[in-house]
Amino acid sequence: MKYVKAHDVFPKELLTEIQKHVQGQLVYIPKLPEAHEKWGTHTDTKKRLLERNSAIIKAYQSGLTVPQLAESYFLSEETIKKIVYC
């Protein structure tokens, strides 16, 4: 998240009003609901995780155990269980 100076983005009157409530603190202003994007929209991370999870499920179905998969994928056994038992 990029830091933006309030006096660069708010009209002077609005900044004066905000300063009645908050001064010298960081304030997070959330996006409007319609501006939210789903996780993974701008990267291929979601796709890579889905591919990894599919490979884990196939390996489990082929006979590898949860501990073997955990060691192979550097994940906890609980994480492997969540993937294969869903």
- Listed by start position, the domains of the chain span 6-35, 45-84
Q: How many helices (H) and strands (E) does the chain have?
A: 5, 0
Task: Tell me what pLDDT residue 40 has.
Answer: 82
- With tokens 């983005």, the residue in question is 9
Per-residue pLDDT of the chain (86 residues; tens, 9 = 90+): 788 899 999 999 999 999 999 999 999 999 898 888 888 888 899 999 999 999 999 999 999 999 999 999 999 999 999 999 98
| CA atoms of 13 and 75, how far apart (whole Å) | 52
- Does this model's pTM top 0.85? My answer is no
pLDDT recorded at residue 59: 98
* Amino acid found at 44: D
User: Residue 83 in contact with residue 53, Cβ under 8 Å?
Assistant: yes
